[in-house]
Amino acid sequence: MIPSGFGKSIAITGIKGTPASRTPLDHPMVPLVKNAVAKGFGREPLVVPSLGGTTPDFVFTRILGLPSIVVPLAPYDENNHAPNESTKVSLYLAGVRSGLHLLEALANA
């Protein structure tokens, strides 16, 4: 039952979200990041065109015109955003090593 004073229809005027964003896999930065991650983790990374999630990535790619490449450091069983969300120190340290290798590659480029 609809309370008095309310119309019988509902209008949605806006939905929250962020625009989709993607840096092409053939961008010149991709091999630099891929090699840095391979050195940091000690194995070849899996390169995928998109990841699920909501990040303000479009600010870099669409507004600033910069490439944005995301390297997740979470384990497969992290329980993302759950009360028992977790990570592994080893992945964090591999991410730090990867970042150092990337800075070195950028300095030499």
Q: What is the CATH number of the domain that holds 71?
A: 1.10.150
User: What share of the chain has pLDDT > 70, as a percent?
Assistant: 93
Residue 95 covered by a domain: yes
Residue 70 covered by a domain: yes
DSSP conformation class of 28: T
- 17 sits in the region (left: phi over 0; alpha: psi -120 to 50; else beta) called left
**Per-residue pLDDT for 105 more than 90?**
yes
Instruction: Give the model confidence (pLDDT) of 77-97 as tens digits.
Output: 888 889 999 999 999 999 999
Residue 3 covered by a domain: no
Alpha helices in 21-88 (DSSP H): 29-41, 57-58
Residue 13 covered by a domain: no
Residue 68 covered by a domain: yes
Grade residue 12 by pLDDT with cuts at 50, 70 and 90. Answer: confident
Q: Can you give the residue range of the structural domain that contains 73?
A: 29-108
Residue 17 covered by a domain: no
**Per-residue pLDDT for 1 more than 60?**
no
For the chain, first and last CA: distance in Å?
68
Residue 57 covered by a domain: yes
Answering whether pTM is above 0.75, one says yes
Instruction: Give the model confidence (pLDDT) of 37-82 as tens digits.
Output: 999 999 999 999 888 777 888 999 999 999 999 998 888 888 888 9
Rg (CA), the chain: 20
Q: How many CB atoms lie within 10 A of CB 29?
A: 16
Structural domains in the chain (count): 1
Residue 15 covered by a domain: no
